[in-house]
Amino acid sequence: MAEFDVRPDNHLGHIILESMRKYSDFLHQIDAATGEEETYASVLDRSVKLARYLRNSGLVPGDVLAIGGRNHVDLYIPFYSALFNGHTIIGVDPNYKNSEIKKLFEMTSPKVIFCDESMYETYNEVSMDLGLDTKIVTFGCNLGSMRQLLKDFNCIKEDEFKVAEVDIENVYPFFITTSGTTGNIKIAAFKYKALIEKMVYFSKSSNISLHQKYLQLSPINWVSSFYLATANPMMGHCNIQTSIPDNIEIIIHMINKYKPVQCLVGPSLMSDLLQHKDEVDLSSFNAVFFTGSKIYPDVMEKFQACLRRGAIALEAYGQTETIGPVIMSMPGMPRGSCGKGFHMYSLKMLDTETGDEISEVGKAGELCAKGPSFTEYWNDPEETANRFTSDGYVRTGDLLYRDEAGFYYFVERIKTLIKWKNFHVLPCEVEDLIRTHTGVDDVCVLGIKDPEDGELPTACVIRKYGANVNYQIKISYVVEYYFCKNFRPHLLRR
């Protein structure tokens, strides 16, 4: 894809419209749970009809459109309609509780909401409680559903449709929720230019040919879902998705039947597929990207061994605020590394105590990134200010270090560091140590407040079946091999 001149009359909606027209005869999406298939021509036709309906209903560029639902073939029709009209899209986590939905709608005041029929009563109750003048449209075939509304626009020709002009500096195309480690909902707002820059970069660097099948398992509220919904049409790719989520049997069926070539998923799916490696054929993949949480090198190596020769399993380090990866792993890199930074980002690390930039090899600090990223947390200037450095870098909140060759290594989330007697204890290091005990199957380490020591490192351990591992054995093991090695012995309190 060539460089794109972003203007009010030339933005993301125009890219999607032209791409869908260009690849009209190719499949856009398949719901593996139902077998439904849809071409780009059909998706475009329905999206244009809905865009006209929204305009006739009085919506204008900048109005917020909320979408919640499972990954069925109707889900992204309002998504594309919003891009054509310049509406701001907010995805609603399908697993949100009532209180979380209420907080989200209170923060964004959507003018129209699209949701599965099962969520109508909840969304309606929340909207009424907030006093919102919001129209709720359901997916499905019931009276008032999106499919029923589109029947009124059957006589309108798609090729006469024009994308709306948008004030690209003051209207956001995407609101994406993020909670980080605080648990508080924040809404990252993105401008057109940053989104398009990232998409152009990936389209140029992609080694995938046109019209390939992409395994799409991300829910509507994830940044990866927003990205794939806009980037895949540029290459004419087909999304293989499922309206029945979190079902390993269906995912195995999707891979075996439709043979996708790429996917971006969390480490938990890697573990699930490894447990079913004799049932799933992974030979169709040329690349599998993992993101979302730490991946243990030995698990990654086991998964890599299940792929065909020449295919790669890679870890992508990034965040919602940076529109996904800022560091990408590569074949042949050192074990445990996240990879090297993308050239479109400037990266630096800051000392968590002094705030000074770290230049030493091997010293951990907070990674900060400058490049295509979010503009602000919507209606939250304090959180926005805390997230940016004075020179415009996004603070990731993560500890990393780099080696002499420029490879980065993830250490820990800063918020999960345990402050014990003015020392920083890394939970991941204690976890890695405890896992080496022959009687331990898995472990999680966290800090518990203590009046004398500030925080006490505390381990929750799963014993291997039949193992005789008691409390005192574990304490002695950790004290001997970790705390005595890293701290002065007289500091230890048993």
Q: Which of 37-51, 183-197, 424-438, 471-485 has the lowest mean pLDDT?
A: 471-485
Which residues touch 448 (CB under 8 Å, ≥6 apart)? 455, 456, 458
Q: Specify the higher pLDDT residue, 50 or 140.
A: 50
Give the pLDDT score at 119: 95
Split at pLDDT 50, 70, 90, the class of 192 is very high
> Which residue has tokens 């024009």?
162
Residue range 468-483: mean pLDDT, rounded: 61
- Label residue 303 by pLDDT band (50, 70, 90): very high
How many C-beta neighbours within 10 Å does residue 131 have?
8
Q: Is the pLDDT reported for residue 86 higher than 70?
A: yes
Of 185, 28, 190, give the one whose Cα is nearest residue 97. 185
275-285: pLDDT as tens digits: 999 999 999 99
How would residue 205 be classed by pLDDT, with cut points 50, 70 and 90? low
The candidate with the shortest Cα–Cα distance to 186, out of 322, 384, 372, 367, is 384
Does residue 62 carry a pLDDT above 50? Answer: yes
In this structure, CATH architecture of domain 12-191: 3-Layer(aba) Sandwich (3.40)
Least confident among 26-40, 248-262, 447-461: 447-461
Instruction: Identify the band that residue 471 occupies on the pLDDT scale cut at 50, 70 and 90.
Output: low
The 3-state DSSP class for residue 127 equals: helix
Query: Is the predicted pLDDT of residue 481 greater than 60, yes or no?
Result: no
Question: In the prediction, which pLDDT does 231 show?
Answer: 92
- Say which range, 43-57, 75-89, 433-447, 474-488, has the weakest mean pLDDT: 474-488
To the nearest 10°, report the CA torsion of 438, 443, 449, 452: 10
Domain limits, the chain: 12-191, 288-414, 417-491
pLDDT value at residue 183: 57
Confidence check: pLDDT of 64 > 80: yes
- Model confidence at 238, pLDDT cuts 50, 70, 90, reads very high
pLDDT band at 446 (very low <50, low <70, confident <90, very high): confident
| pLDDT value at 321 more than 80 | yes
pLDDT at 389: 97
pLDDT more than 70, % of the chain: 91
CB-based contacts of 304, cutoff 8 Å, min separation 6: 312, 313
Closest-CA residue to 102 (of 221, 185, 189): 185
The CATH H-level (homologous superfamily) assignment of domain 288-414 is Luciferase; Domain 3 (2.30.38.10)
**Confidence at residue 362, expressed as pLDDT on a 0 to 100 scale:** 94
DSSP 77-114: HHHHHHHHHTPEEEEEPTT--HHHHHHHHHHH--SEEE
Alpha helices in 189-281 (DSSP H): 192-205, 223-235, 248-258, 267-275
Amino acid at 380: D
Quickly state the pLDDT bin for 474 (edges 50, 70, 90): low
> What mean pLDDT do residues 446-464 have?
81
Q: Please compute the mean of the pLDDT values over residues 412-441 and round it to a whole number.
A: 77
What is residue 155's predicted lDDT score, i.e. its pLDDT?
64
**Taking all residues of the chain, what is their mean pLDDT, rounded to a whole number?**
89
Mean pLDDT across 241-264 = 96
The pTM of this model reads: 0.86
- What average pLDDT does range 65-69 have in this prediction? 98
Q: Top-level CATH class of 417-491?
A: alpha beta
